[in-house]
Amino acid sequence: MIQQKEDEVLVNHLTKQGIDNKMVMGHPASLFVLFFTEMWERFSYYGMRALLTVFLITEIVKGGWGWTNAEAMQLYAWYTGLVYLTPLIGGMIADKLTGYRKAILLGALTMTLGHLAMAFETFGSSFFYLGLVLMILGNGLFKPNISSMVGQLYPDTSTKKDAGYTIFYMGINAGAFLGMLLCGYIGEKIGWHYGFGLAGVFMFFGMLQFFFAQKIFGIIGKKPDTTHTPQEHVEKITNEETPKHVVRDRLIVAGVLMLASVFFFFAFEQAGGSMSIFAKDYTQRVLEGNAGLTFKWIDAALTIFPILIVTWVLYSLSKKIASAYPLTITFTALSFAIIWGLGIWKVYREFSAEQTEVTVSWFQILNSFFIITLASSFSKMWEKIWNPSGAVKFALGLLLVGVGFVALAFGASSIPKGATTATVSMVWLILAYFFHTTGELCLSPVGLSYISKLSPKKFVGLLFGLWFTASAIANFIAGMTGSYIDRISEAYSMSIFFYIIASIPIAAALLLLIFSSKLRKMTHGID
């Protein structure tokens, strides 16, 4: 009965907004259009990012640019830092000028052109740099606005809103997973420009399927929303009545959590930088005998099963909207046909190869894989077994990301000081990614939730902006710190480099645990 009432409230909300009220798996069909648009955007972003550092440091004779690790990491720092900074501007442009939809389409087109430019890197380095700039600008327009549209599909009181964001989050991870898997493989094994270009092909398909399904969203995202609902007015009055010392305390807690997130992402974002360098030069990636055969089967399963699952989601959507939005389904189906072709070709090629060589970018898919397999277990743990305060969850996240680097440091302990190559077991990188993902599941999902709860309503936008700024700072510091990998491993050892990275989030975690009870009191009842 409660479920039926909930569905009626949702359908009424959709009808009022002019949104198509067809449902897929109990959620608006429009959610799944956003799911696939975001999936292809994340495919393109992570597919390119998986290749960026490896391409820059690969020898010129192998098609790379032959940069030093330090040079590559500095460019990586600027790129990833700016990628997280531009959504601030993109959100404001959508709010004041274009509306969400136009911003998403413009962002998708700009990123498609960025990938196209990068695919022409063989004709000159200026194409490559132009591509990076376009990727940064396009991401700024796209990223904040598609998430905003998801929230508007549901009434504020809907219990399905969180589940909707969870489905959307799965789209993010499916896209990241497939992008790193396929673009990374093709870039490293076939040609760098093919990897960069492939990422753009799917960004283009994502843009087309969104463009031809715009009517499904009704009035949402059509023009800048300058109106205020009665509920927002009530919330404003309520917040004005909140005592000043309570507001101040909550803002302090929000600031502390943002600072903690900088320490977390400083370590976590080594994935595309120093951890890629470690995977390329210091990890045993050539597997023989049973080890090689086992990897081939694991890799085949990791390639085929995710494509199978997401194809089923597309089939469920197409049954409901194919007649009303044929071009959307056509372009998405065409993109999936290409994905299936690439997936089967990749598996066949690997089983036909005499030697099994794991690509450098393959390790980055582990984060998305562990998120998809562990996310529901973590949410059940918080719900039924143990649900500590935000500060304690953040501390756990920091500890776990630190432990991941302790594992790497231990694995690297056999590498002599100043060595430029080694053959460390890939088990240590897999362990590191496992701990990093468990840390992310403790910190990342609760981060934005706590910021929204602790912020006075008139400052929500500002605090979300500061959260993204904290991520930008963390990414920049991560890249710049990674640029010292050679200098530290020459003077001390590779192991010491990873211990230094590990010590910083662990120290921050201990400070958070010490002050966690004080911080909990300062939230004044918000949990």
pLDDT in tens, 453-502: 787 777 776 787 788 889 999 999 999 999 999 999 999 999 999 999 99
Better-predicted residue by pLDDT, 251 or 376:
251
pLDDT at 225 (0 to 100) = 56
Can you state the angle between helices 29-57 and 125-152, rounded to 10 degrees?
Answer: 150
Domains of the chain: 29-224 (1.20.1250.20), 243-285+360-526 (1.20.1250.20)
Give the DSSP letter string of 492-512: T-HHHHHHHHHHHHHHHHHHH
Q: Tokens standing for 128?
A: 């490559």
Better-predicted residue by pLDDT, 458 or 328:
328
Residue 357 β-bridge partners: 286
- Average pLDDT of the chain, as a whole number: 90
Length of the chain: 527
Give the DSSP letter string of 66-107: ---HHHHHHHHHHHHHHHHHHHHHHHHHIIIII-HHHHHHHH
Q: Return d(Cα 18, Cα 12) in angstroms, integer.
A: 10
User: Could you report the per-residue pLDDT of 62-120, keeping only the tens digit for each?
Assistant: 999 999 999 999 999 999 999 999 988 888 898 888 889 999 999 999 999 999 999 99
Better-predicted residue by pLDDT, 387 or 113:
113
Alpha helices in 381-426 (DSSP H): 390-411
Q: Are 516 and 395 in contact (CB under 8 A)?
A: yes
- Closest C-alpha among 10, 5, 51, 6 to residue 30: 10
Q: Return d(Cα 216, Cα 218) in angstroms, integer.
A: 6
Burial tier of 2 (Cβ tally within 10 Å: 0-12, 13-18, 19+): exposed
First to last CA, the chain: 29
Q: Return d(Cα 176, Cα 185) in angstroms, integer.
A: 14
Burial tier of 416 (Cβ tally within 10 Å: 0-12, 13-18, 19+): exposed
Instruction: Print burial letters for 26-60: b (CB count within 10 Å at least 16), e (below 16).
Output: ebbbbbbbbbbbbbbbbbbbbbbbbbbbbbbbbee
* pLDDT over 80 (residue 331): yes
Angle at 162 between CA 155 and CA 2, to 5 degrees: 65
- The pTM of the full predicted model, rounded to 2 decimals, is 0.89
Phi, psi angle pair for 357, to nearest 5°: -120, 115
User: Could you report the per-residue pLDDT of 350-377, keeping only the tens digit for each?
Assistant: 999 988 999 999 999 999 999 988 888 8
Q: Tokens standing for 427?
A: 């088990």
Percentage, residues of the chain above pLDDT 70 = 94
- Closest C-alpha among 280, 275, 277, 343 to residue 307: 343
Q: Distance of CA 92 to CAs 88, 225, 461, 462, Å?
A: 7, 11, 10, 11
Q: Tokens standing for 123?
A: 């004709």
- Closest C-alpha among 25, 322, 300 to residue 171: 25
DSSP-assigned letter for residue 283: B
Taking each continuous run of H as one helix and of E as one strand, the counts in the chain are 18, 4
Residue 23 β-bridge partners: 28
Q: Are 181 and 302 in contact (CB under 8 A)?
A: yes
Give how far the C-alpha of residue 459 lies from the chain's centroid of Cα atoms, to the nearest Å. Answer: 25
pLDDT at 157 (0 to 100) = 67
Q: 303-312: which pairs have CB atoms within 8 A and are 24 or more residues apart?
A: 303/181, 303/343, 303/346, 303/347, 304/343, 304/344, 304/347, 306/174, 306/177, 306/178, 306/372, 307/178, 307/336, 307/339, 307/340, 307/343, 309/174, 310/39, 310/174, 310/178, 310/336, 311/336, 311/340
